Amino acid sequence: MAQTLETFGPIYLAETDYFKEGFPHDLFTKLRAENPVVWSEEKNDRGFWVLTKYKDIEYVSRNPQLFSSATKNGGHRIFDEDKVGLVAAGEDNATIGRPMISLDPPEHVGVRQSAMRGLTPAAMKSMEGRIRERISALLDAVVPGQQFDVISSLSAPIPIQTLVEILGCPPEMEAELYAWTNCLVGEGDPEFRQSPEHMGKVIENLVKFALQLLDAGKDGDGTDMISLISKTYDGTKLSQADFLGNFILLVIGGNETTRNTLSGGLLAFAEYPDQLSKLIANPELIPSAVKEILRWVSPVMHFRRTATEDVEIRGVKIAKGSKIVMWYPSANRDEEIWERPFEFDIERKNNRHFTFGTGQHMCIGNRLGELQIRVFLEEFTKRFNHVELAGKAKRVQSNFLQGLKKLPMKFNNV
């Protein structure tokens, strides 16, 4: 019989109402203690198993033969990707295919390895100077003591500008890329939610943009990021649909997660000013601060797997074909892993956060995300030593990405 919580009744974690104020940590703390593997109902589907504990999520993530990410088995989101496809408006009705995150080994390996060629440590080193210049310019535009919105002024432009460089497209595309990604990932938020017609138009525009970029690079050496996500490691071309799936994954992953981590980190420093003071006095703590910000914010809330055979986790029998949803913010607050998990501590040791996942689907952009956060902290602490909220932070209503829409703040150097 499916487990539920008497205190809460049946839970419906596919509904974004649970996430109006961000991740529901109170609920998940109780789940970890009482029902670490629990059933969530769905209003319009068959329901799914909820994983709340670090070690269970690690186990599922590292065993793709038992827990599939493949689109044919439902994919990596709560909804079934093989039933809810993305289709562009317009004459072509181009279908968005399988991103690498929705492939299982061995097929996944060659696609991932090709993309990783564009995200090597050497590639990150070559980008660092340009990232630093852009971040410095944005911070120099902040007037000390004057209220401004962190999202529109800092945390959104930083990854968008990096994404524009990676894609090799003109800076004029920044605003459109920002709007398109908000539409794609904001399906649970009334402010971002769009009609199916508008969504189709957004996808049509993204498809045209992606194919233009692919065509522009066809006479190059094949080492640009667009070319790399259009083929496997051995050079085999992907279908147009699967290339488009990878393109949308790159646009969202290269934008939303870093944006939300930067804004969530600044909010944490406003709430824990002693940690900012410690960082100012000890800049050598920046690397550990980066890891703690990533643990604390946990910008991606969940990914899903599907059981390929009958399995058992913590004594709970899970039938073949069942959906299993892993909740990363819960893993990053697991009391069995972390001392004082609800304290923001930039000196935290052995910070093996789950923000980038683990196993074969560990985020391919983890180095780039860490680089941007590190450079931001380095440049921020040269200019400011105090942050404060100047109004109410406004959260995105989503059960997938944990983010902020508005973050009014003041920076000072006092």
Convert the pLDDT of each residue in 147-190 to its tens digit: 999 999 999 999 999 999 999 998 999 999 988 888 887 767 77
Are the C-beta atoms of 293 and 373 separated by less than 8 Å? yes
Predicted pLDDT at 7: 54
pLDDT at 136 over 70: yes
- Cα 403 → chain centroid: 9
Are the C-beta atoms of 255 and 160 separated by less than 8 Å? yes
Give the pLDDT confidence of 33-46 residue by residue, as tens digits. 999 999 999 998 99
Q: With cut-offs at 50, 70 and 90, classify the pLDDT of residue 30.
A: very high
Residue 3 is assigned to a structural domain of this protein? no
Predicted pLDDT at 85: 59
Residue 7 is assigned to a structural domain of this protein? no
Are the C-beta atoms of 73 and 356 separated by less than 8 Å? no
In which residue are the tokens 């329901």 written? 47
Alpha-carbon gap, residue 159 to 255, rounded angstroms: 5
SS3 assignment, position 154: helix
> Residue 263: which CATH number?
1.10.630.10
Q: With cut-offs at 50, 70 and 90, classify the pLDDT of residue 87.
A: low
pLDDT at 114 over 80: yes
Alpha-carbon gap, residue 178 to 160, rounded angstroms: 7
SS3 assignment, position 55: helix
Average pLDDT over residues 365-383: 98
Alpha-carbon gap, residue 255 to 101, rounded angstroms: 16
Residue 1 is assigned to a structural domain of this protein? no
Q: With cut-offs at 50, 70 and 90, classify the pLDDT of residue 88.
A: low
Share of the chain above pLDDT 90, in %: 80
Between 231 and 16, residue with greater pLDDT: 231
pLDDT at 4 over 50: no
Alpha-carbon gap, residue 324 to 318, rounded angstroms: 9
Task: Determine the length of the chain.
Answer: 414
Residue 244 is assigned to a structural domain of this protein? yes
Alpha-carbon gap, residue 306 to 153, rounded angstroms: 40
pLDDT at 89 over 70: no
Average pLDDT over residues 257-263: 96
Alpha-carbon gap, residue 273 to 377, rounded angstroms: 15
Number of Cβ within a 10 Å radius of residue 148: 17
Average pLDDT over residues 48-71: 98
Give the pLDDT confidence of 295-329 residue by residue, as tens digits. 999 999 999 999 999 999 999 999 999 999 999 99
Alpha-carbon gap, residue 61 to 331, rounded angstroms: 12
pLDDT at 232 over 80: yes
Tell me phi and psi for residue 405, to 5 degrees.
-95, -35
Predicted pLDDT at 8: 57
Residue 243: give the domain boundaries: 16-412
Are the C-beta atoms of 207 and 244 separated by less than 8 Å? yes
Give the pLDDT confidence of 334-352 residue by residue, as tens digits. 999 999 999 999 999 989 9
Both structure tokens of 337: 């892993």
Residue 114 is assigned to a structural domain of this protein? yes
Residue 11 is assigned to a structural domain of this protein? no
Name residue 312's beta-bridge partners. 317
Average pLDDT over residues 264-269: 98
Mean pLDDT over the full length of the chain: 92
Longest alpha-carbon distance in the chain: 62
Residue 4 is assigned to a structural domain of this protein? no
Predicted pLDDT at 86: 58
Classify the C-alpha dihedral 303-309-310-312 as positive or negative.
Answer: negative
Predicted pLDDT at 1: 33
Number of Cβ within a 10 Å radius of residue 251: 21
Instruction: Give residues with Cβ within 8 angstroms of 170, minimum separation 6.
Output: 164
Are the C-beta atoms of 332 and 353 separated by less than 8 Å? yes
Alpha-carbon gap, residue 30 to 232, rounded angstroms: 44
Predicted pLDDT at 190: 75
Alpha-carbon gap, residue 64 to 325, rounded angstroms: 14
Residue 10 is assigned to a structural domain of this protein? no
**E strands, 72-205, where?**
148-149
Predicted pLDDT at 92: 53
Predicted pLDDT at 133: 99
Q: With cut-offs at 50, 70 and 90, classify the pLDDT of residue 2.
A: very low
Number of domains present in the structure of the chain: 1
Share of the chain above pLDDT 70, in %: 95
The angle subtended at Cα 163 by Cα 331 and Cα 288, nearest 5°, is 40
pLDDT at 131 over 90: yes
